[in-house]
Amino acid sequence: MAVILLNAALAFAQEQQAEKAVEALAAFLPERATVIRDGVRREVPATSLVPGDVLVVEEGERISTDARLLSGGVPRATRSR
């Protein structure tokens, strides 16, 4: 009986930790994203991103999706010589 109660307490504690982790991740995600759709640059809600959107990402921005890097580089002013 003690083992069952201990197991239930540990499972409850792990569930609480998992919920807190999910909430922390959700708070980190941006609400909006800059995309190029139909050749036009626009800002859209991050929840409306779809496959085929081209994300425009600036240095230091957070992204809210899996993505494939099409191009990028270090600005000339910050390149080491």
Q: What is the pLDDT of residue 77?
A: 58
Residue-wise pLDDT tens digits, 31-50: 888 999 888 999 999 888 88
Residue-wise pLDDT tens digits, 56-81: 888 888 877 777 777 777 666 555 55
Write the secondary structure of the chain as one string of H (helix), E (strand) and C (coil). Answer: CHHHHHHHHHHHHHHHHHHHHHHHHHHHCCCEEEEEECCEEEEEEHHHCCCCCEECCCCCCCCCCCCCCCCCCCCHHHCCC
